[in-house]
């Protein structure tokens, strides 16, 4: 893959077949099938049993630097071959412990180094979804580069400071655990599109059917946004969608086969259309690690207010084929926060220029920053002036 083509610009399901969905309650799971499985890339789940993990993102654990705190139920270990030969089956390898475990009495803590860390041989450990979320949290993290007088001393000294986002475990998404338990896994299945009340909750793709079978229930350990959690509570069924065979056109087994093939094709096209909020968006991507012919990267869709927005990570082969994918749907509030920060960065953190670009007055934009939780970035004089202006009749 040429240097300019390393970065994902959009998600393509080329090489994957979208099979008819299975429905239980408000959960719709769409299987993704891969007919050409190469076997030169495998992913293995590595379980962690601690209450919280601390990941050193930069510097050393004992030194000042950026740290990421979260509950991390498992990591993924990527193993690959450089020459295209199949990777040996997992199960008999000797691997050293990942990080260090501390028992703090009220909670156990795992200390880890880096979101993606090279291990022995052609093996890389990374933290699924957390790799994407850490990238999202660090967007525009440094704050203003120019000492604009409108910003607080804290913002000028520390940038955005400690950022956090709230999410919900898949075990709390109503119906998801039951759906994963009873749904059929196809012979060539390597992934799924998960919808809750017809909202795309997650896309999950793995290199081989064996990897998918081993990681099928790991979707319960993933985290999901507020919207998906609420939809699981509010709805107990999906929207009715029916595709049938026209019996009047069936005169032989051959006709039946053609009709069923067309029905499956129509289903695939429609279910791909349902996921267009992810599949049709432009992406901003970052390569995290190059592993032989594979590129591990994380991405965020181009931020659009009032539309679907996703973050995620992918492993892409040097010919552009998608080998691994995991996504997280941002809530509207998360999108608004990221959108405001992106606009501030675009206009060099100049309040007046950013407000003008968004068709706001200075005071309206300051109020919008307050509502998004970024009021602490501004000095008190600017905040008080905006409040005073908003109270005037």
Instruction: Render pLDDT for 15-61 as a digit per residue (tens, 0 to 9).
Output: 888 888 888 999 999 999 998 999 999 999 999 989 999 999 887 76
- The answer to whether residues 7 and 27 belong to one domain is yes
Whether the pLDDT of residue 207 is over 70: the answer is yes
> What percent of the chain has pLDDT above 70?
87
pLDDT of residue 264: 62
Q: Do the bridges between strand 108-113 and strand 52-56 make them parallel or antiparallel, or are there none, so unpaired?
A: parallel
- The answer to whether residues 50 and 188 belong to one domain is yes
Rounded CA separation 374/83 (Å): 50
- The answer to whether residues 157 and 72 belong to one domain is no
Q: Is 25 exposed, middle or buried (0-12, 13-18, 19+ CB in 10 A)?
A: middle
pLDDT of residue 66: 84
- The answer to whether residues 291 and 377 belong to one domain is no
- The answer to whether residues 42 and 59 belong to one domain is yes
Rounded CA separation 208/38 (Å): 8
pLDDT of residue 160: 86
Q: Of the candidates 314, 332, 350, which is a domain's last residue?
A: 332
C-alpha distances out from residue 334 to 189, 247, 316, 357, 383, Å: 32, 49, 27, 21, 22
Give how many domains the chain has, as a whole number.
2
- The answer to whether residues 260 and 365 belong to one domain is no
Tell me the pLDDT band of 92, cut-offs 50, 70 and 90.
very low
Does 65 map to a domain? yes
- The answer to whether residues 387 and 264 belong to one domain is no
pLDDT of residue 271: 52
Does 54 map to a domain? yes
pLDDT of residue 286: 93
- The answer to whether residues 255 and 280 belong to one domain is yes
Q: Do the bridges between strand 74-80 and strand 123-126 make them parallel or antiparallel, or are there none, so unpaired?
A: antiparallel
Query: Looking at per-residue confidence, does 198 or 328 come out higher?
Result: 328
Q: Of the candidates 285, 311, 332, which is a domain's last residue?
A: 332
- The answer to whether residues 41 and 159 belong to one domain is no
- The answer to whether residues 108 and 251 belong to one domain is yes
Does 146 map to a domain? no
Residue 305 CB partners (closer than 8 Å, separation 6+): 332, 335, 336, 339
Instruction: Please give the model's pTM, rounded to 2 decimal places.
Output: 0.87
Whether the pLDDT of residue 63 is over 80: the answer is no
Does 179 map to a domain? yes
Does 148 map to a domain? no
Tell me the pLDDT band of 260, cut-offs 50, 70 and 90.
low
Rounded CA separation 127/268 (Å): 31
In sequence order, the β-bridge partners of residue 378 are 151
Does 203 map to a domain? yes
Tell me the pLDDT band of 1, cut-offs 50, 70 and 90.
very low
Query: How confident is the model over 278-298, as pLDDT tens digits?
Result: 887 889 999 999 998 999 999
Range of the domain at 377: 153-164+333-391
Rounded CA separation 365/354 (Å): 8
pLDDT of residue 322: 93
- The answer to whether residues 192 and 315 belong to one domain is yes
In sequence order, the β-bridge partners of residue 312 are 299, 327
Q: What is the mean pLDDT of residues 158-184?
A: 91
- The answer to whether residues 246 and 294 belong to one domain is yes
Question: What is the overall mean pLDDT for the chain?
Answer: 86
Rounded CA separation 156/170 (Å): 38
Does 370 map to a domain? yes
């Amino acid at each position: 893959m040429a240097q300019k083509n390393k970065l994902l610009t959009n998600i393509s399901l080329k090489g994957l077949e979208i099979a008819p969905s299975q429905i239980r309650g408000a959960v719709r799971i769409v299987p993704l099938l891969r007919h050409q499985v190469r076997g030169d890339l495998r992913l293995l789940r590595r379980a962690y049993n601690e209450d919280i993990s601390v990941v050193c993102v930069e510097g050393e654990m004992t030194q000042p630097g950026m740290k990421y705190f979260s509950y991390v139920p498992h990591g993924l270990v990527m193993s690959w071959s450089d020459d295209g030969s199949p990777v040996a089956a997992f199960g008999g390898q000797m691997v050293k412990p990942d990080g260090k475990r501390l028992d703090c009495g009220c909670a156990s803590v795992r200390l880890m180094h880096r979101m993606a860390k090279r291990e022995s041989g052609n093996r890389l450990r990374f933290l699924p979804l957390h790799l994407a979320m850490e990238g999202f949290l660090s967007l525009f993290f440094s704050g203003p580069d120019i000492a604009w007088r409108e910003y607080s001393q804290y913002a000028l000294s520390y940038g955005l400071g400690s950022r956090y986002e709230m999410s919900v475990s898949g075990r709390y998404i109503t119906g998801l655990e039951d759906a994963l338990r009873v749904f059929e896994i196809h012979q060539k299945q390597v992934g799924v599109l998960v919808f809750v009340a017809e909202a795309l909750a997650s896309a999950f793709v793995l290199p081989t059917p064996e990897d998918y079978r081993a990681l099928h229930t790991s979707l319960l350990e993933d985290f999901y946004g507020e919207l998906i959690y609420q939809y699981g509570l509010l709805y107990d069924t999906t929207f009715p969608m029916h595709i049938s065979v026209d019996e009047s056109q069936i005169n032989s087994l051959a006709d039946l086969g053609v009709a069923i093939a067309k029905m499956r094709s129509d289903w695939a096209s429609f279910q791909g259309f349902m996921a267009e909020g992810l599949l049709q968006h432009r992406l901003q991507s970052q390569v995290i690690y190059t592993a032989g012919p594979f590129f591990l990267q994380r991405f965020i869709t181009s931020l659009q207010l009032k539309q679907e927005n996703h973050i995620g990570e992918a492993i892409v082969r040097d010919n552009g084929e998608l080998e691994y994918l995991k996504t997280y749907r941002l809530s509207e509030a998360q999108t608004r926060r990221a959108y405001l920060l992106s606009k501030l960065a675009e206009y060099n953190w100049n309040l007046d220029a950013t407000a003008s670009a968004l068709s706001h007055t200075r005071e309206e934009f300051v109020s919008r920053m307050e509502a998004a939780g970024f009021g602490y970035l501004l000095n008190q004089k600017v905040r008080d002036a905006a409040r005073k202006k908003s109270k005037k009749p």
